[in-house]
Structures are given as structure tokens and as C-alpha cells.
């Protein structure tokens, strides 16, 4: 079976909230410690990398393959901040709420608010 490696996943033997806690960008240190001893870490990393291109994917949350969300984003060539900021503004213009934008982009609500505020200030000075 294609996913039989999951039978050996250490995360399946502990409290799942360790791995999917506190929203986008947050990764528990306890989860990363568990990953560091997991026998199927390479298989897990391959599995999640297949999904990370989809910014709406649930895989943008928590620890996978022994890496935090931020580590995976850096390695996956996440768009530079300027591109991300433009994306936030476009999504805002489409009427998405800050929480939706944050979840879809895998960033914090605070980042969305900061970018929107900077954009408003920029428009006021023009």
C-alpha cells in the first residue's frame, strides 16, 4: 500500500493537538522533537512536499517531516514578501476576511493586518 509508512508515524501515537495547534505558522517544539526520532521522517517529508504548493492546503499547518511550517516554506521557495503583500491586497479587494487570508497563505493574522495598514497609509499619501 502507498501509505503504509503512516503505520509507523510517531505522531499517530500522541496527542494530535501537538501537531495541529495554534493556527498557521505555529509549530510546536514538542512536535518537532517527536519528528526528530520518527522512523518515517523521509517518507513524511516527501508526502507533504507534494501538497505544499497549494496555499490553501491543510498541510501548511504544524509539523510535517521533522520541519516547521516556516522551514518548509523557506525550502519550498515561498514568494518574496513583496509578492505576498500584493497577494494579501488582492485577496482583501476580493472581500476575504483577514483570518481567511492568513489561513490560505499560511501566515499570521497579524501579518495580514500589518500589510493592509501599510497599504492604506500608502494610498493616503498618494
Taking the least distance from each CB to ligand SF4, the nearer of 36 and 56 is 36
44 binds ligand SF4 (CB under 6 A): yes
> How far apart are the C-alpha atoms of 78 and 107, rounded to whole Å?
11
For the bound state, the minimum distance from the C-beta of residue 6 to ligand SF4, rounded and expressed in Å, comes to 7
Nearest residue (CB) to ligand SF4, 11 versus 103: 11
Measured distance CA(96)–CA(106) in Å, rounded: 14
Binding flag, residue 112, ligand SF4 (CB under 6 A) = no
φ and ψ of 64, to 5 deg: -145, 135
**By CB under 6 A, residue 35 contacts ligand SF4:** yes
- Residues 2-31 binding ligand SF4 (CB under 6 A) are 9-11
With 0-12 / 13-18 / 19 or more C-beta atoms within 10 angstroms meaning exposed / middle / buried, residue 16 is exposed
Identify which of 59, 58, 9 has the alpha carbon closest to the alpha carbon of residue 35.
9
**Interface residue list for ligand SF4 (CB under 6 A):** 9-11, 34-35, 38, 40-41, 44, 63-66
Amino acid at each position: 500500500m502507498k501509505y503504509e509508512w503512516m503505520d509507523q508515524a510517531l505522531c499517530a501515537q500522541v496527542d494530535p493537538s501537538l501537531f495541529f495547534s495554534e493556527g498557521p505558522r505555529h509549530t510546536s517544539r514538542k512536535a518537532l522533537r517527536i519528528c526528530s526520532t520518527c522512523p518515517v521522517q523521509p517518507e513524511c517529508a516527501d508526502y507533504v512536499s507534494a501538497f505544499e504548493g497549494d496555499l490553501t492546503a491543510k498541510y501548511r499547518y504544524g509539523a510535517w517531516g521533522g520541519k516547521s511550517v516556516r522551514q518548509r516554506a523557506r525550502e519550498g521557495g515561498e514568494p518574496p514578501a513583496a509578492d505576498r503583500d500584493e497577494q494579501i491586497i488582492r485577496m482583501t479587494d476580493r472581500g476575504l476576511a483577514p483570518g481567511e487570508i492568513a489561513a490560505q497563505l499560511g501566515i499570521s493574522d497579524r501579518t495580514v493586518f500589518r500589510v493592509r495598514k501599510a497599504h492604506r497609509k500608502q494610498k493616503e499619501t498618494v
